Amino acid sequence: MKIIITGCGKIGVAAIESLASEGHDVIAIDNRLEVINEIRDVYDVMCICSNGADFNTLSEAGVADADMFIAVTGSDELNMLSCIIAKKMGAKHTVARVRNPEYNVKSLGYIKQQIDLSLILNPEYLVAQEIFNILKFPAAVNVETFSRRNFEMAELVLRDNSAIIGMSLMELRKKFQANYLICVVQRGDDVFIPDGNFVLESGDHIGITADPSEIQKLLKMLGILQKSVRDVMVLGGGRIAYYLSKLLLASGNSVKIIDKSRARCETLSDLLPKARIVNGDGTDQNLLIEEGLDSSDSFVALTGMDEENILVSIFAQAKQVKKVIAKVNGTELSDMAEKLGLDCVVTPKLTVSGIISRYARAIANSEGSNVETLYKLMDGKVEAAEFNVASDFGYMDIPIRQLKLKKNILIAGIIRKRKAIIPSGDDVIMAGDKVIVIAAKMVLNDLSDIMR
């Protein structure tokens, strides 16, 4: 597909990298020459240094025959204007980043309809939702949902004291009777789609699929279920902190936000009257102790400084806080944070680029079974994709054991009439099903791609 991206900040560059790696024809637009030159040096994409809302610029980029136009500049209004112009000039699908909290759900719905936007992205809200899901399930380092929360995948790290170290998956299934599937394992830099003989080791990063109640049941049997958090301390009072606090407060959690800016604290006090807002330097260990870090169930570091988030999160872990989450934008620093012992790191640009990739695949697919949900897992080495099964899918009503699947492919779940099925070899795929597929080191555009 031909995809034009205007705005080459962190989100834009992540989208360029993801879409270009999948073989799309990408054109990057930004009005900063140094940014354009860097993108030109690193990625095999066409680059234009100009204003993405300019008619002549869009004409030069060939927007008239663009399959997708993505506006992710720092200005919500410029993004929407760019999309309006691109749509009028012939772009088939338009995507705009809109992140100002003043644009509520109702107004965004109206805007999307009136200017014919295909998709609105609010990165801060998406990351807040991701963190919220993890806090509801604190034993996990990541939780992804499928089919409107009827099916979940939880990522866990096995510690030295885990009861299942040294057990094969076959032994595990015999010992713990629950409807689940360990569908992927990362060990160091290697990723495995495990079979029944696979033996688990300390430090393994595992992915478990099941319906939500079954995952809770399994973790309870394994002795690693943690209670949901109640008291949350948040460092940094930006947009992510605002959206996260709204979600937490609505669920009955207590929230304390610490921020250096007095003006921002005053704004948050007005926006979040049920939260406790503290004006202070959250890197001051004494302040954190005075504000009750030791007694908090969870600590979430959301400042604009990756290094600050990592260091303060390590301090929170040392104080035995049950769940610690750090926002880290830089991929290299994210890897470093995990090596330093931080289990739970969220990277906003990867969250958003994954959604853009999913949408691109959905509109690129003209027949068969469209991608409805797509997640990048295990440091991007694995994809979990949810497909809608169309009536013309060529492999229906065939037992899964008879399907000739490609290597490193696993059918991890089937949702049929909102019922989650962990498939056995006797199960079949039917029209109208939603099918969750785990794929290592490959890209899936259609459900048929899993077949040899």
The amino acid present at 400, given as its one-letter code, is I
Residue 301's pLDDT band (boundaries 50, 70, 90)? very high
Residue 418, pLDDT > 90, answer: no
Q: Report which of 223, 189, 191, 221 is spatially closest to residue 207, judged by C-alpha positions.
A: 191
Note the maximum CA span of the chain: 66
- C-alpha–C-alpha distance, residues 349 and 5, integer Å: 15
Residues near 345 by Cβ (< 8 Å), separated by ≥ 6? 325, 326, 327, 328, 334, 337, 338
Residue 248's pLDDT band (boundaries 50, 70, 90)? very high
**Which is higher by pLDDT, 66 or 155?**
66
Q: Report which of 451, 450, 445 is spatially closest to residue 367, judged by C-alpha positions.
A: 445
Mean pLDDT estimate for the chain: 88
pLDDT for 370 equals: 67
Helix H or strand E segment including 17: helix 10-21
> What is the per-residue pLDDT across 137-190, written as a single tens digit (0 to 9) for each?
777 777 777 766 678 888 888 877 777 889 899 888 888 777 788 899 989 888
Residues near 294 by Cβ (< 8 Å), separated by ≥ 6? 319, 320, 321
pLDDT for 322 equals: 87
Averaged over 244-258, what is the pLDDT?
Answer: 95
**DSSP H helices in 22-66:** 33-42, 55-61
- C-alpha–C-alpha distance, residues 81 and 52, integer Å: 9
Length of the chain measured in residues: 452
pLDDT for 358 equals: 79
Can you spell out the DSSP letters for 124-171?
HHHHHHHHHHHHHSTT-SEEEEETTTTEEEEEEE--TT-TTTT-BHHH
- C-alpha–C-alpha distance, residues 372 and 211, integer Å: 18
Residue 368's pLDDT band (boundaries 50, 70, 90)? very low
Work out the angle at residue 278's Cα, subtended by the Cα atoms of residues 274 and 280, and round it to the nearest 5 degrees.
165
pLDDT for 281 equals: 94
pLDDT for 58 equals: 96
| 345, 334 contact by CB (below 8 A) | yes
Maximum average pLDDT range among 90-104, 275-289, 331-345: 275-289
pLDDT for 132 equals: 92
> What is the per-residue pLDDT across 34-62, written as a single tens digit (0 to 9) for each?
999 999 999 999 999 999 999 999 999 99
| 35, 8 contact by CB (below 8 A) | yes
Bridge pairing between strands 205-210 and 151-157 = antiparallel
> What is the per-residue pLDDT across 220-233, written as a single tens digit (0 to 9) for each?
777 666 667 889 99
Sign of CA dihedral 364, 366, 367, 372: positive
pLDDT for 149 equals: 67
Q: Report which of 409, 412, 442, 441 is spatially closest to residue 429, judged by C-alpha positions.
A: 412
Domains and CATH numbers, the chain: 2-121 (3.40.50.720), 128-222 (3.30.70.1450), 231-346 (3.40.50.720)
Residue 13, pLDDT > 50, answer: yes
- Give percent of the chain with pLDDT exceeding 90: 52
Averaged over 447-452, what is the pLDDT?
Answer: 88
Can you spell out the DSSP letters for 69-103?
EEE-SS-HHHHHHHHHHHHHHT-SEEEEE---TTS
**Which is higher by pLDDT, 335 or 435?**
435
Give the lowest-confidence range in 90-94, 177-181, 404-408. Answer: 177-181
> Which of helix, strand or coil describes residue 229?
coil
| 191, 185 contact by CB (below 8 A) | yes
pLDDT for 367 equals: 44
Q: What DSSP designation does 309 have?
A: H
Averaged over 421-449, what is the pLDDT?
Answer: 88
Burial class of 368 by CB neighbour count within 10 A (0 to 12, 13 to 18, 19+): middle
> What is the per-residue pLDDT across 97-137, written as a single tens digit (0 to 9) for each?
998 877 777 777 888 888 889 899 998 999 999 899 888 87
Residue 366's pLDDT band (boundaries 50, 70, 90)? very low
Averaged over 9-14, what is the pLDDT?
Answer: 93
Residue 218, pLDDT > 60, answer: yes
pLDDT for 151 equals: 81
> What is the per-residue pLDDT across 371-383, written as a single tens digit (0 to 9) for each?
777 777 887 788 8
